[in-house]
Amino acid sequence: MKYSFAPVIDSGSRVLILGSLPGDRSIADARYYAHPRNAFWKTIYGFWGETPPESFDMRYEYILRRKLALWDVISHASRQGSSDGKIRDETFNDIPGLLASYRGISLILFNGSYAFLKYSRHFGTPAIPYRRLLSTSPACAGRDAERLKMWHEALALGLCDTETPRCIHGI
């Protein structure tokens, strides 16, 4: 069995980023998106023109300051390796309960098609706006420019306010 982590969220969070289930490297390190080839942290920090620090605690504080939240669709499952396609016998996190507790969430970003597929099959269509984005996983390499554009457009959509200088159309 492989297990997801607790959500990274607080009362100021406005955008919930949902992955499927942490990969082996993330599980071993007990950190979201710990694989060095996963583009997640580089993409998030890059939106603000910054570079991620080594400390994951600092990364989590950063995303909370930026009104973001992290969790996974799947709570636990059996899986050989890190591939989403190998996930079996999954149990789901209580995402509707999380959204009921954190009513400031106004957008869900799905980190990859598999996270969206599993969410929609188990919970149906999200009740709030959402975007299905290309995965930041190393398994989705080769579409880096397209992925970066999708993520930055989605972040701008969800975080458009006076504190976010990237709130422009056509990023």
CATH number at residue 65: 3.40.470.10
Domain with 64, as residue range(s), is 2-158
In a domain, 14, yes or no: yes
φ and ψ of 78, to 5 deg: -90, 145
| Phi, psi torsion values for 29, nearest 5 degrees | -90, -10
DSSP letter assigned to residue 39: -
- Domains in the chain, number: 1
> Does 170 reside within a domain?
no
Does any domain span residue 167?
no
Give residue-wise pLDDT tens across range 24-68: 999 999 999 999 999 999 999 999 999 999 999 999 999 999 999
Other CB atoms closer than 10 Å to residue 79's CB: what's the count?
22
Catalytic residue numbers read: 38
162 three-state secondary structure: coil
Does the pTM surpass 0.85? The reply is yes
Please indicate, yes or no, if residue 148 is contained in any of the structural domains. Answer: yes
pLDDT for the residue numbered 161: 56
Task: Judge contact between 10 and 70, C-beta under 8 A.
Answer: no
